[in-house]
């Protein structure tokens, strides 16, 4: 076994680039998390997994670090506080957490606690989200911002919030919502504050670019904005209008896109502020991105700016426009979701097998082989750095010939096996030789990609990292142990669903995307664990139950007084749970299976035994049982 240094392994997986101060590797080769961002005060992930296993909480498991949530909130608030001081800004900043990014109550509560002194509020995009938020304690001055498409009862719930003393802001998206507002007014209910979402000319960048711009599905055009203000004035509701809102999409990768959106929105604020003097909030929406690959570039998995730069640009730009227009500085709200929660959780699963085309056992050759097999033997023995291209091409031709002859009934299945095996040996040698050239030809790059191992991993992409499947989002992936050993295998990760899309075949890399993950050789009888990191935003509720694999075990870990503490364990769905969701009732299934077992004429004890086995599976985890 070859050793590798901490520095080298950290740069191999990019941990030093994307990990910030949260993630690192110990001298013993274990993945560490420093939830309070201090080196030395860290949680050893492997030890947590082992401890959980002792209490029969098996992988796949999601580990959450609520202290990371606090840290991210204070990082964002500090950046804005700093900018406000630096540019002598006259008003304050408050974050608002968009709960669609992670609705889990524990997560929202941790954020509310950490953001209390900054009046952290909530943004909701639907009636159920609004109802959830009304049941949470918010600071007195915090806002509850209501976005999304609304019906009359959504307006009523917002009014109910206002009656509770909450600062509820209903953001008007479309002109028809003014009619709903009128109905609410006529009913005599308490009116919430109002905001207007505007359509900017400016667009974001990256995957969610189409959330902004004139063609976006959200927000009012300029004429609609002016008419809405007129409508509110006419019906004596203009004093309720407090906020101007825009959102140009999530994970905006380029800072100049953010700057131009702010510039445009601030100008609109300034122009309407002169008539609608109640408007004293500007809400810059979400979009603050996360550097998943550590490259600090405008590629989709990265951002070319820091939180500090973002805060500086928002504050400076708004101040500049307001001063030139001689209007007061507004209070600033941002709806950063991804940036607050991404880092706080990681998924850990065990690897069950490494499937490899090229690592299979050699067949036994006879003295006299068929023509085509003999020719492949010759190529395999004589391929070299000098002739590899030509010899490899010959091998491809021979392989085609092998299959044709087999299909015509002219070769035995043993010949087919030998031929296939030889072809892969030749391919390995060709790839190795191709690497000695200055430029590796595309065909050998592609060939290598085809030959990566497939590591079979005990999880479901569809349940746990749906964005990888749906929108090709990249997440950092790292083994959680043995990181002091040099990895010797390269693999894509296939999940245990019966779906060929259930695979991670793209990995973060500083320069480019990698098509395989460096891994270690599995050791018989020893589990091998891999973590997918930075899955705290959007993944928790977007997952589905493909193949009836349900929610995974969910564990909170905190670092306190020198050690890691498992704070809470929420068991994942059982087989019974996931079946029930689709109409399979345990009682009915049990009755049918019991009857059937009795009918087929087994002895009573055999039938009882089989029935017990069936029944015992219901309360269990749908994922693969641990092997030890």
From 71-79, 329-337, 435-443, 527-535, give the range in contact with ligand PLP by CB under 6 A.
329-337
Instruction: Please report whether residue 335 would count as binding ligand PLP according to CB under 6 A.
Output: yes
Beta carbons within 8 Å of 176's beta carbon, 6+ residues apart: none
Task: Tell me how far apart the alpha carbons of residues 566 and 582 are, in angstroms, rounded to a whole number.
Answer: 33
Evaluate the CA torsion angle 539, 544, 546, 552 in order and state its sign: positive
CB-closest chain residue to ligand PLP: 286
The 3-state secondary structure of 141-191, one letter per residue = CCEEEECCCCCHHHHHHHHHHHHCCCEEEEEECCCCHHHHHHHHHHCCCCC
Beta carbons within 8 Å of 139's beta carbon, 6+ residues apart: 116, 119, 120, 121
Q: Which is nearer to ligand PLP, 336 or 578 (CB)?
A: 336
Of positions 15, 76, 101, 428, contacts ligand PLP by CB under 6 A? 101
Task: Tell me how far apart the alpha carbons of residues 140 and 166 are, in angstroms, rounded to a whole number.
Answer: 7
Instruction: Please report whether residue 247 would count as binding ligand PLP according to CB under 6 A.
Output: yes
Task: Tell me how far apart the alpha carbons of residues 321 and 310 are, in angstroms, rounded to a whole number.
Answer: 17
Site residues for ligand PLP, window 115-144 (CB under 6 A)?
123, 125
Site string for ligand PLP, 476-495 (x = CB under 6 A): --------------------
CB of 491 within 8 A of CB of 455? yes
Of positions 72, 336, 497, 539, contacts ligand PLP by CB under 6 A? 336
Q: Which is nearer to ligand PLP, 251 or 460 (CB)?
A: 251
CB of 209 within 8 A of CB of 255? no
Instruction: Please report whether residue 261 would count as binding ligand PLP according to CB under 6 A.
Output: no
147: left (phi over 0), alpha (psi -120 to 50) or beta: beta
Q: Which is nearer to ligand PLP, 287 or 487 (CB)?
A: 287
Instruction: Please report whether residue 60 would count as binding ligand PLP according to CB under 6 A.
Output: no
- Residue 401 CB, shortest distance to ligand PLP, in Å, is 55
Of positions 19, 29, 204, 286, contacts ligand PLP by CB under 6 A? 286
Cis omega (within 30 of 0) on the bond before 498?
A: no
Instruction: Please report whether residue 212 would count as binding ligand PLP according to CB under 6 A.
Output: no
Instruction: Please report whether residue 250 would count as binding ligand PLP according to CB under 6 A.
Output: yes
Instruction: Please report whether residue 338 would count as binding ligand PLP according to CB under 6 A.
Output: yes
Q: Which is nearer to ligand PLP, 121 or 285 (CB)?
A: 285
From 133-141, 279-287, 316-324, 405-413, give the range in contact with ligand PLP by CB under 6 A.
279-287
Of positions 70, 147, 253, 345, contacts ligand PLP by CB under 6 A? 147
For residue 393, what are its two tokens? 């091409």
Burial class of 11 by CB neighbour count within 10 A (0 to 12, 13 to 18, 19+): middle
Q: Which is nearer to ligand PLP, 277 or 471 (CB)?
A: 471
Give the DSSP H/E element, type plus range, for residue 425.
helix 413-434
Of positions 46, 71, 100, 259, contacts ligand PLP by CB under 6 A? 100
Query: What length does the chain have?
Result: 628
**How many residues interact with ligand PLP (rule CB under 6 A)?**
17
Of positions 66, 192, 287, 419, contacts ligand PLP by CB under 6 A? 287
Instruction: Please report whether residue 576 would count as binding ligand PLP according to CB under 6 A.
Output: no
Q: Which is nearer to ligand PLP, 123 or 505 (CB)?
A: 123
From 95-103, 320-328, 359-367, 393-401, give the range in contact with ligand PLP by CB under 6 A.
95-103
Beta carbons within 8 Å of 371's beta carbon, 6+ residues apart: none
Strands 345-355 and 529-532: antiparallel
Binding site for ligand PLP (CB under 6 A): 98, 100-101, 123, 125, 147, 247, 250-251, 285-288, 335-338
């Amino acid at each position: 076994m070859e050793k590798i240094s901490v520095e080298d392994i950290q740069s191999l997986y990019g941990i030093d680039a994307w990990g910030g101060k949260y993630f690192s590797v110990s001298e013993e080769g274990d993945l560490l998390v420093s939830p309070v961002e201090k080196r030395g005060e860290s949680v050893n992930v492997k030890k947590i997994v082992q401890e959980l296993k002792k209490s029969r909480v098996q992988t796949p498991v999601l580990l959450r670090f609520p202290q990371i949530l606090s840290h991210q909130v204070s990082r964002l608030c500090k950046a804005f506080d700093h900018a406000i001081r630096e540019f002598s800004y006259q008003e304050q900043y408050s974050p608002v957490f968009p709960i669609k990014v992670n609705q889990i109550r524990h997560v929202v509560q941790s954020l509310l606690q950490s953001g209390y002194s900054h009046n952290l509020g909530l943004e909701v995009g639907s009636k159920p989200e609004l109802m959830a938020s009304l049941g949470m304690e918010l600071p007195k001055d915090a806002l509850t911002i209501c976005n999304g498409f609304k019906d009359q009862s959504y307006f009523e719930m917002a009014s109910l919030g206002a009656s509770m003393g909450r600062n509820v802001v209903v953001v008007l998206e479309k002109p028809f919502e003014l009619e709903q507002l009128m109905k609410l007014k006529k009913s005599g209910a308490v009116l919430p504050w109002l905001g207007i979402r505007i359509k900017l000319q400016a667009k974001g960048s990256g995957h969610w670019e189409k959330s902004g711009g004139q063609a976006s599905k959200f927000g009012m055009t300029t004429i609609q904005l002016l008419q809405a203000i007129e409508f509110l004035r006419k019906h004596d509701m203009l004093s309720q209008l407090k906020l101007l809102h825009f959102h140009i999409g999530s994970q905006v990768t380029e800072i100049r896109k953010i700057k131009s959106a702010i510039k445009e929105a601030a100008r609109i604020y300034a122009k309407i502020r002169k008539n609608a003097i109640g408007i004293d909030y500007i809400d810059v929406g979400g979009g603050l991105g996360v550097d998943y690959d550590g490259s600090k570039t405008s590629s989709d998995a990265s951002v070319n700016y820091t939180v500090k730069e973002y805060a500086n640009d928002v504050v400076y730009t708004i101040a500049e426009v307001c001063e030139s227009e001689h209007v007061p500085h507004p209070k600033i709200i941002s709806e950063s979701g991804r940036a607050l929660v991404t880092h706080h959780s990681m998924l850990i699963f065990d690897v069950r097998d490494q499937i490899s085309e090229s690592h299979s056992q050699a067949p036994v050759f006879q003295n006299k082989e068929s023509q085509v097999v003999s020719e492949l033997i010759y190529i395999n023995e004589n391929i070299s750095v000098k002739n590899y291209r030509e010899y490899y091409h010959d091998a491809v031709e021979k392989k085609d010939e092998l299959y044709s002859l087999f299909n015509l009934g002219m070769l035995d299945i043993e010949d087919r096996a030998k031929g296939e095996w030889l072809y892969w040996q030749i391919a390995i040698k060709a790839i190795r030789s191709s690497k000695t050239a200055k430029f590796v030809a595309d065909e050998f790059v592609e060939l290598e990609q085809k030959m990566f191992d497939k590591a079979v991993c005990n999880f479901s992409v569809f349940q746990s990292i749906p964005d990888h499947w749906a929108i090709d989002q990249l997440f950092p992936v790292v083994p959680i142990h043995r990181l002091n050993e040099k990895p010797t295998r390269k693999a894509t990760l296939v999940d245990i669903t019966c779906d060929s899309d259930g695979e991670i075949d793209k990995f973060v890399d500083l320069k480019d995307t990698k098509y395989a993950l460096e891994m270690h050789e599995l050791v018989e009888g020893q589990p091998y664990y891999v973590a997918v990191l930075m899955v705290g935003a959007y993944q928790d509720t977007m997952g589905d139950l493909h193949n009836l694999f349900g929610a995974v075990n969910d564990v909170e870990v905190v670092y306190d007084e020198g050690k890691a503490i498992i704070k809470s364990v929420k068991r994942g769905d059982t087989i019974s749970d996931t079946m029930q969701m689709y109409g399979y009732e345990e009682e009915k299934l049990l009755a049918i299976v019991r009857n059937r077992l009795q009918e087929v004429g087994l002895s009573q004890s055999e039938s009882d035994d089989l029935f017990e086995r069936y029944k015992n599976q219901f309360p269990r985890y749908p994922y693969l049982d641990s092997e030890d």
